[in-house]
Amino acid sequence: MAKNLEGKRAVVTGAGRGLGRAIAIELANQGAKVVVCDLGGSKSGEGADMGPAQEVVDEIKKAGGVAVANNENVTDFEGAGRMIQTCVDNFGGIDILVNCAGILRDRMIFNLSEAEWDAVLAVHLKGMFNTVRHATPLMREQKWGRIVSTTSDAWRGAPGQGNYSAAKGGIVSLTRTVAGEMGKYNVTCNAIAPIAATRMTMDDEVKERFKRAYEAGMMNEEQYKELVGMPGPEFVAPVVAYLCTEEGGAINGKVIGTSGGRVALYSDPVEIRGLYRDHVKEGAWTVDELIRLVPKTLLT
């Protein structure tokens, strides 16, 4: 197998388990030296455990790769800086940043607490800002870098996940902004929208929820089997590694959907239809005009 990332230096957050773990291992298999970052908290973001990150490091080393562990918290701005600095101190710089750290605190909007909102936004969205803010000055200086962050199809809206979907939508917007700012320095910034069986998406509680929905007739047998048979994160990892290669530099500011054998490009947000008038000569639209015209134009 070709070492498409030979000599590259990478930081992967949330790399102790699930998607981040699979990506860290794949980057190492492709020749990158990897900082495996993971606080080791629970699915909801509580507690800490140095074990998962070190276990991934041990696995990479056993396979002949190079890796070190870091147990900082992505929500801590200075801690995120130490993640990047760990890569610099151990490997001489940073070329690749992959943001996978995430938590879930699902709740319908009328039950969602401020603390549950803040916790999820802090890990997903602020966590991305924190690491990107520390990595981009170094990438800009060397005029090369690859940033990949994890969004979700939930960014288009997900009942019961207002905090999560808002964070993931923010990641898409921040990705596009960073891509526009950093592209001229040969630094790309993309997002992946993965579907993969991890503890975030397919633990026993989720499986039981799917089972109850199936038994209640809310989905057919084919849909149920597809959900519980969701492919693992190892199918997503090569797509991320590709985005980090020299060849992947042709893609910037995009959202790539991936699951199993699927690799897909999401459309960019564009204006699709509109009502237009010369506001200087004709003034603002009136409510009556909009009531009459919108159904025949914007809503067709």
Percent of the chain whose pLDDT exceeds 90: 77
User: How would residue 210 be classed by pLDDT, with cut points 50, 70 and 90?
Assistant: low
Predicted local distance difference test score (pLDDT) of residue 253? 98
Mean pLDDT, all residues of the chain: 92
Q: Is 21 helix (H, G, I), strand (E, B) or coil?
A: helix
> Is 242 one of the catalytic residues?
no
What residues does 187 pair with on adjacent strands?
A: 145
Model confidence over 231-256: pLDDT tens digits? Answer: 788 999 999 999 999 999 999 999 99
Q: Is the pLDDT of residue 213 over 90?
A: no
Model confidence over 94-106: pLDDT tens digits? Answer: 999 999 999 989 8
Angle between helices 221-228 and 204-215 (to 10 degrees): 180
Q: Which residue has the higher pLDDT, 216 or 8?
A: 8
Angle between helices 114-121 and 162-182 (to 10 degrees): 30
Domains of the chain, each with CATH number or no CATH: 9-196+233-269 (3.40.50.720), 200-230 (no CATH), 273-300 (no CATH)
Predicted local distance difference test score (pLDDT) of residue 43? 65
Model confidence over 79-91: pLDDT tens digits? Answer: 999 999 999 999 9
Predicted local distance difference test score (pLDDT) of residue 153? 87
Distances (CA, A) of 176 to 25, 135, 180, 213, 285: 27, 16, 6, 37, 32
Percent of the chain whose pLDDT exceeds 70: 91
Contacts of 288 (CB under 8 A, 6+ apart): none
Q: Is the pLDDT of residue 227 over 80?
A: no
**Residue 253 in contact with residue 181, Cβ under 8 Å?**
no
Predicted local distance difference test score (pLDDT) of residue 140? 98
Model confidence over 38-70: pLDDT tens digits? Answer: 997 776 677 777 899 999 999 999 999 999 999
> Beta strand pairing status for 66-70 and 9-13?
unpaired
Q: Is the pLDDT of residue 1 over 80?
A: no
Average pLDDT, stretch 286-297? 96
Model confidence over 151-204: pLDDT tens digits? Answer: 998 889 888 899 999 999 999 999 999 999 999 999 999 999 998 766 666 566
Q: Is the pLDDT of residue 263 over 90?
A: yes
